[in-house]
Structure 1
Amino acid sequence: MRVSFGMLLLAGVSVAGVTALLLPPVTAPVAATNAAPGLARGSYLPDADRKYPTRVLWGDEHLHTGWSGDASLGGTTLTPEDAVRFARGETVKSSTGEDAKLDVPLDWLAVTDHSDGYGTASELRAGNPEMLADPTAKRWAAMTAAGGAQARAAQLEAINAQATGTLPKIMMDPKWMKQAWAKSIAIMDKYNEPGRFTALIGYEWTSNGGNGDNLHRNLIFRDAADKAGQVRPLTTFETDDPAVLWRWMAGYEKKTGGRVLAIPHNANLSNGRMFEDQQYDGEPITREWAEMRARWEPLYEYYQFKGASEAHPALSPTDEFANFEIWDTANLNGKTKQPGMVAGEYARTGLERGMVIGARVGVNPFKFGAAAGTDAHTGLSTPVESNYWAKGAPAADTWNAVHRKEDSGYVRRTWTQAAQGVTGVWANANTRDAIWDAMMRKETYASSGPRITLRFFGGYGFDAADARADKLVAAGYAKGVPMGGDLKPAQGAVPTFLVAAMKDPRGANLDRVQVIKGWLDADGKPREAIFDVVWSSPAKRKPVAGKLPPVGDTVDVANASYRNSIGASELVGSFRDPGFDPRQRAFYYARAIEIPTPRWTAYDAKRFKVKMAPEVTMKLQERAVSSPIWYTPA
């Protein structure tokens, strides 16, 4: 019987049959005897002797329900409980009354409703008389009840009011938040079932820079309600400055003994502010500020419905895969982007800027790993193209709706929204502690939707045998560092990287696996290079002038289908940096790319018998991106 590379990749041991991937975890919850806080249904004891993680756990770090003001005003009625039940694999009624179910459940979920106006709009929808006494709130309630375009208009008005600090005072009263927060964290504890499903407590802090520059952060707690309930979420009614948020986080940990981290929202609506070379208030970046950002924000969101934030074609012109689900038109309030702004919005340039700042102040503030979430405002985490339920409740089949008003300076159609993403976490157990700890050490990766298994290690002592499927994982941990790690200063050696990927068992084959390098040259200027390390059909596809030919295309757009007759199910290889200079700062990360497949717009066109406009994107090449491995000279 053939030993499956896929299982070797996951476990580092020989296990027969790739179909084993489709089976549930072999360790089931046992009866609770000494249950920790939040273990309402069972307890779980992970393998204490496990030396390294052998299984990737999939989850969404960014999901909204009807308890977020903009979601509720847009027509979302689902609660955090509905969201968790759906993520666990149960069938729920969507806000439009249809049955919704995931093909494959998630392993974990963070519900991150907005702290600003937390729980207020749901009270408004319920007809709370105290809310309806305010004329603006009453008008929004009527518009929401009318549905359709009026509900969308109410939602956009509320987003603009939040961004500009003009929400009705009744909606800023913290009592609504306190009530909703207490209910939400109790729900997450109720459904947290170690060993089977992890429900992470969280919220989204929604800084908008005073004018719609999206600087949101998702806060993820390691803790149960007994600690998270000792505080209420910080709002931007109190501050828009991320440094104040970090101090709030430090205060939470000091008060409760708990732990919390923040994941910045993908930055393509920040109008260049997410990775700008200054503090929020315009002051120069100091070592202390850089230390705080690096400490509290270990991950960054690469993929979500607002598009991809890995790379931009204008910033990375030699990267043929950079033009993927790009949003670069305006900020959250429709203020159009000015020249130069995109450079402060994409992960790769953020990583490069981080090295420049680190060389100047002694600490790299943008030393982040990779994460992804849907940012869906439906209560339904659906990053899969064939099962996409849109960003907002009314938009399930309105592919050409206007996402922004025509008079705001630009038009954003809903077909440009993306069905992505999901985070892979290499954790020792499906528990809050293990998943959160993996996030903190950056042993995570971002996928645009497919559950591609991805491993990435760097070190100096690897040999040719270590790049074999049966050796790679054990060698990676024994001789090097995994994704999210730091290489030691070189002592006359050149680093080698081990990389391996396996297709989503229910998805498309793989085109190639690449290593992306960023570094500072002798003049301290950032540079980057993309290396094709291993690819499908190597006997037929030979690089020409350093460029690998396309894998091909089997997509039938009319039938929203494709064939896995091209590509590879598994790819494994190694990369030795030919241009390594031990005096230069550098980072490396892996990117696994699928063969072309139908986009959600193709599935909707077939499902709803719609003829899409010629400019609508109907197919794509999905991908997964690892957290980097960094090199810093002594």
Structure 2
Amino acid sequence: MKTRALVAALLLAGTTLAGCDKVGKALGGGKPADVSETAYPERVYWGDTHLHTANSVDAFGFGNRLGPEDALRFAQGEEVTSSTGIKAKLARPLDFLVITDHAEGMGSTMALYNAPRLLIRDPQVLRWYDMMHEGPEQSVAAMAEILAARAKGTLPEQFRDPKASAERTHNVWNSSIDTVERYNQPGKFTAMLGFEYTLMQGGNNLHRNVIFRDGKDKVSQIDPLDPTNELTPDKLWDYMDAYQAKTGGKVLAIPHNSNVSNGLMFMMTDGSGKPMTAAWAKRRADHEPVVEVTQIKGDSEAHPFLSPNDEFAGYGTAGWDIGNLMLTEAKRPDMYAAEYVREALKRGLALEQKLGVNPYKFGMIGSTDSHTSLSTGDENYFFGKHSGNEPSARRAMSSQSLGTTLGRFGWQYLAGGYAGVWAKANTRAAIWDALARREVYATTGPRMTVRFFGGWDFTGGDLKSDWVKAGYTRGVPMGGSLPAGKQGKPSFIVSALKDPDGANLDRVQVVKGWVDAGGTLHEKVFDVVWSDMDKRKAAGGKVPAVGDTVDVARASYTNTIGAPTLSTVWSDPEFDPKVRAFYYLRVLEIPTPSWPAYDALRFKIQLGPDVRVKAQERAYSSPIWYTPAA
């Protein structure tokens, strides 16, 4: 074998951590049929649909040495040791997890790291190899260079051999499937199969997480799809259609991190910039029923530029609205409308009015996008975006944490989020079905219990009886559509309970969006129920601030303000039966410390004046839509 071919084989079809995971106890074996489903969802299940292990090209390059088994053990509540040697254990295990390692370059940096140095002839590859072996900071720097070369299309040949790459991906993928299967325990803990389709036009983030409803018998018949040379999501949808035709299985895709797409995620055109057709709009809606609205790399619900009258818009935008994902293009204000979810929901109404189909009729979830294999969403237990950003005395200071001049990779990271799923059982099928029907919601980390029903005859009296049953029998849950042709105004059952281990609630708001007959988009935020309503009287359309008990020096707060639970039945006072509209909940906690404040206390450091030390964390429900009768 020639030296070049040997090196390529070592780099691209080499050892995988998935295959080297220590042997764990065989936890699986239960069948979904063994778990009975309830008549309607009775509890919310908490999970993460976006987690990377050392099998992801960037995660390993950034120092992650934990494979899928470690990720699953951690999510189930077991103690693991992080890549930087820190003992880690969730105080509250998750109910489900989807490992979504990048399809592109799956296992490639791990293979490079494990290759014999003397066989590496390309000087650039050898330089990266040496940097990765010098320590965490140099490994991070090497990975930054690899990603930059990928964005420019200048990766060395060893990283571009399609045959060897496909072989390596196949091996890593099937090893990971076997690990996930062992840890899937229907009724107790759901381990789902998925991958990330890293679609990225010149650094503009158009990534999707691909989630399967099925197990090994079907998913092992295909390999993840590499999007390296693609510019639009159409090939992904072709792949999904082909999977379903071949196996009889089901699969959906979740767009994520739209805030760094530089105006490409939610366009008024199709993916190539041509006028959107009804067929294209339907195709997107069918394949992508949910979006990831909040995660480590910022929050994409609303931006102050788009929603200047919303005092709570702009959560988690600091540092993320300066450019695209790779900072290869600066951000312009005209890009925001195609990046933020509230505006996308409004655009969907306008497109439906024109085409008869709404491409952006999606639900909302949160997830972490952690590249440490550790799914953590709590401010007081944030393990970072990547292994170079695990707990340390300097990670909160942006440029120092990566050893670069980039200005948003420190305190600008958020600690969350999580996906709340109203499913009929803790199984792959039930959780996937809930995602598909959009009966899900997002939080920035806290595990608040949020329910939202829309109907035509709900009254305050319903809250005194079995209002959940009433919601399902006389209305539709979050993610649903109100039937048209009814008389009167729609009414909504609103309920939010605080995280049992977290902060009290400040308020619950209904966010309404609509499009008028002329095609103009509108929005309004209604405060519908809040704590101490007898004392905090609304004035000028605004509810006074709840107060602030945060002690930054002690990284603490008290639940002496706010309320543990808030509920009401609300009717839209401005309802027009001729106008398309959507409604979703935004639930706000009282102010609490952010993770840099906990770091400052733990490591006894002084934070800069610009560092975020407290915030009002929140939840976003999936919308309920109203469409006038034809």
Rounded Cα–Cα distance in structure 1 between residues aligned with 2:109 and 2:73: 22
Match of 1:488 among 483, 486, 490: 483
Rounded Cα–Cα distance in structure 1 between residues aligned with 2:549 and 2:563: 14
Equivalent runs, 1:183-202 vs 2, <5 Å:
183-202=175-194
Q: Which has the higher mean CA deviation after the structures are superposed, 359-368 or 147-156? A: 147-156
- Alignment partner of 1:415: what SS? coil
How many pairs does the alignment contain?
593
Rounded Cα–Cα distance in structure 2 between residues aligned with 1:244 and 1:432: 25
- Alpha-carbon displacement from aligned partner over 1:47-74 (angstroms, at most 9, x marks no partner): 7572210010000010111111111111
Rounded Cα–Cα distance in structure 2 between residues aligned with 1:357 and 1:164: 34
- Structure 1 partner of 2:396: 399
How far the C-alpha of 1:406 sits from its partner, in A, is 6.5
- Aligned CA distance change for structure 1 residues 305 and 523 (closer, same or farther; 3 Å): same
Q: Which has the higher mean CA deviation after the structures are superposed, 425-434 or 337-346? A: 337-346
Match of 1:253 among 240, 244, 247: 244
Rounded Cα–Cα distance in structure 1 between residues aligned with 2:118 and 2:253: 34
CA RMSD of the aligned region, Å? 1.7
- Structure 1 partner of 2:167: 175
Rounded Cα–Cα distance in structure 1 between residues aligned with 2:369 and 2:116: 27
Runs of 4+ in 1 over 6 A off after TM superposition: 403-407
Match of 1:229 among 195, 206, 220: 220
How far the C-alpha of 1:283 sits from its partner, in A, is 1.2
Equivalent runs, 1:363-442 vs 2, <5 Å:
363-396=357-390, 397=392, 398-402=395-399, 411-442=407-438
Amino acid of the structure 2 residue aligned with 1:340: D
Rounded Cα–Cα distance in structure 1 between residues aligned with 2:259 and 2:496: 28
How far the C-alpha of 1:280 sits from its partner, in A, is 1.9
Rounded Cα–Cα distance in structure 1 between residues aligned with 2:114 and 2:37: 51
Amino acid of the structure 2 residue aligned with 1:329: I
- Alignment partner of 1:218: what SS? strand
Match of 2:111 among 115, 123, 132: 123
- Alpha-carbon displacement from aligned partner over 1:427-467 (angstroms, at most 9, x marks no partner): 01000000000000000000000000000000002122113
How far the C-alpha of 1:372 sits from its partner, in A, is 1.1
- Structure 2 partner of 1:315: 306
- Aligned CA distance change for structure 1 residues 130 and 276 (closer, same or farther; 3 Å): farther
* Contact 2:458–2:569 (Cα < 8 Å) also in 1: no
- Alpha-carbon displacement from aligned partner over 1:459-491 (angstroms, at most 9, x marks no partner): 0021221133x4321111111000000001133
* Contact 1:404–1:411 (Cα < 8 Å) also in 2: no
2:516 maps to 1:524: no
2:350 maps to 1:353: no
How far the C-alpha of 1:131 sits from its partner, in A, is 8.4
- Aligned CA distance change for structure 1 residues 204 and 457 (closer, same or farther; 3 Å): same
Match of 2:509 among 497, 514, 529: 514
* Contact 1:419–1:600 (Cα < 8 Å) also in 2: yes
- Structure 2 partner of 1:9: none
- Structure 2 partner of 1:33: none
Rounded Cα–Cα distance in structure 1 between residues aligned with 2:619 and 2:381: 19
Amino acid of the structure 2 residue aligned with 1:162: R
Rounded Cα–Cα distance in structure 2 between residues aligned with 1:603 and 1:405: 22
How far the C-alpha of 1:177 sits from its partner, in A, is 0.7
2:54 maps to 1:66: yes
* Contact 2:292–2:366 (Cα < 8 Å) also in 1: yes
- Aligned CA distance change for structure 1 residues 442 and 103 (closer, same or farther; 3 Å): same
How far the C-alpha of 1:405 sits from its partner, in A, is 8.4
How far the C-alpha of 1:509 sits from its partner, in A, is 0.4
* Contact 1:124–1:132 (Cα < 8 Å) also in 2: no
2:529 maps to 1:534: yes
* Contact 1:92–1:100 (Cα < 8 Å) also in 2: yes
Q: Which has the higher mean CA deviation after the structures are superposed, 565-574 or 278-287? A: 278-287
- Structure 1 partner of 2:322: 329
* Contact 1:46–1:429 (Cα < 8 Å) also in 2: no
Amino acid of the structure 1 residue aligned with 2:84: T
Rounded Cα–Cα distance in structure 2 between residues aligned with 1:285 and 1:157: 37
- Aligned CA distance change for structure 1 residues 356 and 157 (closer, same or farther; 3 Å): same
- Structure 2 partner of 1:17: none
- Alignment partner of 1:268: what SS? helix
2:452 maps to 1:459: no
Rounded Cα–Cα distance in structure 1 between residues aligned with 2:31 and 2:125: 44
2:84 maps to 1:87: no
Amino acid of the structure 1 residue aligned with 2:184: N
- Alignment partner of 1:340: what SS? helix
How far the C-alpha of 1:40 sits from its partner, in A, is 2.6
How far the C-alpha of 1:133 sits from its partner, in A, is 4.6
- Aligned CA distance change for structure 1 residues 141 and 49 (closer, same or farther; 3 Å): closer
- Alpha-carbon displacement from aligned partner over 1:596-615 (angstroms, at most 9, x marks no partner): 00000100011111100001
- Structure 1 partner of 2:444: 448
Rounded Cα–Cα distance in structure 1 between residues aligned with 2:506 and 2:324: 34
Match of 1:580 among 575, 578, 590: 575
* Contact 2:205–2:261 (Cα < 8 Å) also in 1: yes
* Contact 2:298–2:413 (Cα < 8 Å) also in 1: yes
2:464 maps to 1:473: no
How far the C-alpha of 1:129 sits from its partner, in A, is 6.4
Amino acid of the structure 2 residue aligned with 1:343: A
How far the C-alpha of 1:345 sits from its partner, in A, is 0.5
TM-score by length of 1: 0.91
Rounded Cα–Cα distance in structure 1 between residues aligned with 2:118 and 2:524: 58
Rounded Cα–Cα distance in structure 2 between residues aligned with 1:149 and 1:474: 55
- Alpha-carbon displacement from aligned partner over 1:355-394 (angstroms, at most 9, x marks no partner): 1111111100011100111001111111100000110101
- Alignment partner of 2:204: what SS? coil
The percentage of aligned residue pairs carrying the same residue is: 51
Equivalent runs, 1:605-624 vs 2, <5 Å:
605-624=600-619
How far the C-alpha of 1:279 sits from its partner, in A, is 1.6
- Alpha-carbon displacement from aligned partner over 1:128-152 (angstroms, at most 9, x marks no partner): 5698454433322211222243222
How far the C-alpha of 1:225 sits from its partner, in A, is 1.4
Match of 1:280 among 254, 259, 271: 271
* Contact 1:299–1:368 (Cα < 8 Å) also in 2: yes
Gap regions ≥5 residues in structure 1: 1-37
Match of 2:287 among 291, 296, 301: 296
* Contact 2:38–2:425 (Cα < 8 Å) also in 1: no
- Aligned CA distance change for structure 1 residues 361 and 253 (closer, same or farther; 3 Å): same
- Alpha-carbon displacement from aligned partner over 1:264-298 (angstroms, at most 9, x marks no partner): 01211100100111122211111111011000000
* Contact 2:177–2:216 (Cα < 8 Å) also in 1: yes
Rounded Cα–Cα distance in structure 1 between residues aligned with 2:616 and 2:398: 25
TM-score by length of 2: 0.91
- Aligned CA distance change for structure 1 residues 194 and 406 (closer, same or farther; 3 Å): closer
* Contact 2:293–2:364 (Cα < 8 Å) also in 1: yes
